[in-house]
Amino acid sequence: MNYQERYTQWITEQIFDEETKSELIQIKTDTKEIEDRFYKDLEFGTGGLRGVIGAGTNRMNRYTVGRATQGLANYILKKNIQSPSVAIAYDSRRFSREFAEEAAKVLNANGIKVYLFSELRPTPELSFAVREFKATAGLVITASHNPPEYNGYKVYWNDGAQVISPIAEELIAEANAIQNFSDIKRMDSLTNDKSLLEIIGEEFDEKYIAKVKTLSLNEEIVKEISDELKIVFTPLHGSGNKPVRKILKEVGFKNVIVVPEQELPDPNFSTVKYPNPEEKDAFRLAIDLAKSENADLIIGTDPDCDRVGVVVRNSSGEYVVLTGNQTGALLIEYLLSSLKQQGKLNQKSTIINTIVTGKMGDKIAKAYGAGVISVLTGFKYIADKVKSFEAAGDREFIFGYEESYGYLAGNFVRDKDAVIASMLICEMAACYKKKGMTLYEGLMELYSKYGFHAESTASIAFKGKEGMEMMRDLLNKMRADAPQTINGLKVVEVRDYMVYEGAIKLPKENVLYFTLEDESWFCLRPSGTEPKLKIYFSVTGKSLEDAAIRINSLKKSVENCVAEY
């Protein structure tokens, strides 16, 4: 069925409600818009199912959510699992609650029990819930840090991690096999049958927070320094507000000031361009508040509270946003130094990052004798390694992180966790404060020891069907005829992750990674959550200024090279 036939189906068949039909009839003369909405089904990527809210097969709506959920139900039922169940959470986005309830109605209609959170919760708490309830699977309705017009649908399996191959492909196949939306089983309303639907409330939150607290490494120092350390926190209108404040209070932080304009849920994220803690603009209000309060530290979590951004004062007294790589390196130093002091490091201790993560963390880990493993982009691959460590018993997971502001410690959550990370970051700041240092000074100390590392990213947007084809063509051209030099430097290695066989076996993915003769590198990969090509860059300089010059030069050279292709 082509996109025009799909469009006709949606405006004529009785199963689709009048509001949906009305929305689609309004675009009846816009062929491009119709094509974009119907040329494909939403696909699972590194973040699961994610798209613009609206009517159409390539949009987030109750029908695409229902179809994906029926596919999940069919997959679970084919596995003949005894007493199957699914945990469901959601964030503050538009229709998040409605989509969560839609999924519950479909699962219940298929005889599958649902554990549904009573209100918005962090994504990592959903991961914890899947493991605690020994659920077959989990769902969270969120589009993470995307603009407000987006929503999404992430699927977790019984280990509490997002699904990967082969389960992801099998789920997609089940969803794709549903050709008619009339084949979706659905209850008219949420059931009162407690054997089918259990609402998860505050008691479960307490259990999660208690587990997070077990990861505290320096609670005594926190209590000693808590009167002096001042923290500004913004949940950016999302689900981090309650749990982050709760855990910080539990471990002893007294001076936590919440940005009042961003405290409560707001699906329009009206105080920011978009709710991404990677961007300084998202911290505009927090920085203003920090200046007035003379705060030591700012932390900000994204809407589903799996990512956290950190803002510190530099040597000039300016508030600057740390990159994900910088925060990750600082956390590795903090965790490993604390564990070493407590006699808890051993030969099995291992850090996990991704192939596009900066390399300073690797150097720090190796200096402490810890192992380092790099996996493909997406925290689900980090979680998969944690699972394999437990099965083999050959390594002990200490910390996992990625450059895009995701961090995890502990073994009871299998996704990036901004509640855990927020606690550890604030503890780390307290420990530096006791030594008479800021986090920024701690970072400079690491640079002096391991080299002045600098990383950056760029994105090229590809809209619609033609855009996706252009992106594939671009990568294929670079794969077939790779550049020999970049930025005046020889390309010494090209890794094509469609065929690459390294020391650690990785899934095949459409990613190209180039290493230059001075050990700088860049990497091209299609985003798993948005229609764009992401480019990652990394250099090491002799000073901050030298690293800045090198990264800008590399970035410009690579962007020119890509433009030529």
Ordered by start, the domain boundaries in the chain are: 40-207, 219-450, 452-564
What is the per-residue DSSP string for 158-215? TTSSB--TTHHHHHHHHHHT---GGG----SS----TTTEEEE-HHHHHHHHHHHHTT
Could you tell me if 175 and 70 are in contact, meaning their C-beta atoms sit under 8 angstroms apart?
yes
pLDDT (0 to 100) of residue 25: 97
pLDDT (0 to 100) of residue 212: 98
Beta-carbon count within 10 A of 252 CB: 19
Could you tell me if 60 and 152 are in contact, meaning their C-beta atoms sit under 8 angstroms apart?
yes
Q: Tokens representing 493?
A: 């290695």
Cα–Cα distance measured from residue 260 to residue 237, given in angstroms and rounded to the nearest whole number: 10
Q: Among all residues, which ones are annotated catalytic?
A: 144
- Structure letter (DSSP) for residue 338: H
Cα–Cα distance measured from residue 131 to residue 119, given in angstroms and rounded to the nearest whole number: 19
Indicate the length of the chain as a whole number: 565
Within this chain, domains 40-207 and 219-450 share the same CATH topology: yes
Does domain 40-207 fall into CATH 3.30.1490.190? no
Paired sense of beta strands 406-408 and 396-402, if any: antiparallel
Q: CB neighbours of 400 closer than 8 A, spacing ≥ 6? A: 351, 352, 353, 379, 382, 383, 385, 386, 407, 408, 409, 416
Torsion angle, CA of 17/23/28/34, rounded to 10 degrees? -90
pLDDT (0 to 100) of residue 316: 93
Cα–Cα distance measured from residue 381 to residue 527, given in angstroms and rounded to the nearest whole number: 15
Could you tell me if 529 and 404 are in contact, meaning their C-beta atoms sit under 8 angstroms apart?
no
Does domain 452-564 fall into CATH 3.40.1010.20? no
pLDDT tens by residue, 293-336: 999 999 999 999 999 999 999 999 999 999 999 999 999 999 99
pLDDT (0 to 100) of residue 42: 81
pLDDT (0 to 100) of residue 44: 65
CA 20 vs. chain centroid, Å, equals: 30
234 residue type, one letter: T
Q: What are phi and psi of 141, to 5 degrees?
A: -95, 110
Mean pLDDT by 10 residues, the chain (565 residues): 94 95 97 95 72 96 94 96 97 98 98 98 98 98 93 96 90 87 95 97 98 97 95 98 98 97 97 93 97 97 97 95 98 98 97 97 98 94 96 97 97 98 98 97 98 96 82 93 95 95 86 96 84 93 97 96 91
Cα–Cα distance measured from residue 341 to residue 347, given in angstroms and rounded to the nearest whole number: 15
- Per the rule left: phi > 0, alpha: psi between -120 and 50, beta: everything else, 482 is beta
pLDDT (0 to 100) of residue 74: 97
* Alpha helix positions (H), 342-404: 360-367, 379-392
What is the per-residue DSSP string for 432-458? HHHTT--HHHHHHHHHHHH-EEEEEEE
Does domain 219-450 fall into CATH 3.40.120.10? yes
pLDDT (0 to 100) of residue 176: 84
Question: Which of 11, 1, 3 lies closest to 32, judged by CA?
Answer: 3
20 residue type, one letter: T
